[in-house]
Structure 1
Amino acid sequence: MSDSTIDFDSDVLKRSHTIPVLVDFWAPWCAPCRALGPILERLAGKHSERFTLVKINTEELPEIAARYGIRSIPNVKLFVDGQVIDEFTGALPESMIEEWLNRVLPSPLRAKIRQAENEILAGHSDKAAALLEEVLAAEPGNAAAAVMLARLLLSSDHKRAAAMVAGIGPDSDVYPLAESIRTFSRLFEYTEQPETLPDAPVKTAYLSAIKHLKSADFERALSGFIDVVRKARHYDDDGARKACLAVFAFLGDDHDLTREYRGRLASALYV
């Protein structure tokens, strides 16, 4: 397909809802572009089931280049569901580009993950769990699916939930959520072995907050943890503060409880 015949909205934006689209912004006078082009074409052929390649000549389609703020070329952007999810500039070596693709390309099973999300919203946890198990059987390293399933398992099998996210590190987009699940699991151990907690005036209140957390009563859990922070900040290696941060990550920045109790935690820490 000639660059000049491309319908960007159809060939890139619309199509990216079906398969990721890698867009190579280039120009004939650009030597690095000419070096990068064959590499991208080779990788597109090798991974044709994972993404498709579209080349945009910035000389022929300057309005598209302007729309996406192209200031230097080559510029490569990955479109998924109509949005740019990642990009790079310059003629990188093939090995680095392939590593980048492996990191940023969404799972081919993302439709099944979306289906699982819809089942969760509908209250069908068992159906969602079954779908996520299928995804992980096919893609054991799928961090998004692992975190979703771990969330579903937390109340019934927190140890398995923690094990599912054990390998998710700081380089992952879902690391904050994985870390919150690991923190929850550590706390839930105390409800099974309270004797492992040191004796202190706040021990009963701390355990009570953990029990509220385990039953997903996040407001009472946060209130309890913040009370512990006020009275004995460093109890259980600063455990109450860490528990609050884990709840905030679990609920998300936009949740009403996160917004309200983040301020309360800050006040408790700096009184």
Structure 2
Amino acid sequence: MENFGTNSHQAPAGADLIKDGADQTFMTDVIEPSKDVPVLVDFWAPWCGPCRQLGPTIERAVSKAGGKVKLVKVNIDENPGIAGQLRIQSIPAVIAFKDGQPVDGFMGALPESQVNDFINRMTGEVSEEEVTALVERAQEALDQGDLGGAAQDFATALQMDKDNAEALAGMARVHLAGGDPVQAKAILDNAPETLKSAPAIAAVRASMELAGEAQDAPEVSEAEAAVHRTPDAGTWHALGRARLGAGDMDGAAEALLELIAMDRDYDDAAARQLLLRVFESAGAGSELAKNGRRRLSSILFS
């Protein structure tokens, strides 16, 4: 295989892009070139079956990238030093270097489509569909209580698109769910100005405000018992706030709608304003917001 040229980031596919590396030449093979373009280091060994599967796949993917990324293949049997420093414990292992530093990687013989996705992420060439799919998967993980999985996917989406409001809002929601509202607020406060008015960001802020609204609310069981005893506007209001405190936005909306149907001007329409904030927190496109607004309109204009 050929060595890198000094200005090979503009080279055609297959030229000066793939080479065998060694511990002694790691600086010139990887660190220095990575200041111009990402360099992938494939740690492998001749006895490793998955390595033989990944090798041709990653070489094809790098060649297709047309000079936007380079590949250095390191046989760990002959060159154990760098692998040891990077704590490579399983092969094949691919580590991506940018600006002289390891920034990402993967293990195992991934299919070519996933290798291409990895290269696209390293070169900044990602599709909107890829980011959307990651955000959706992260949201599903968050809904299922998998905070670690959600955080990882939201973070990856932000690496691919740092201005993705849904991913940024998702990271804030992960911290809220983990009981760290301070970090959630910091994420929102540090968002680019162009994103601060995005619906997803506004929805998280509304969720944080609602959490404060419910701080001194009664227990849900206590509030439900009060409604059964005396179903008036005050007890329905207390039940709505109690359900908010428990994270039950659907139940909170139901209680507040019952209240408004009973007394639409209760407490200077405070319940109506609280209900609108529940809709905002759920998101304008959510079923809760869409169905709730229809019911609210029916109550107010009947």
- For Structure 1 versus Structure 2, the TM-score category normalised by the shorter chain is 0.3 to 0.5
Q: TM-score, normalising length from structure 1?
A: 0.45
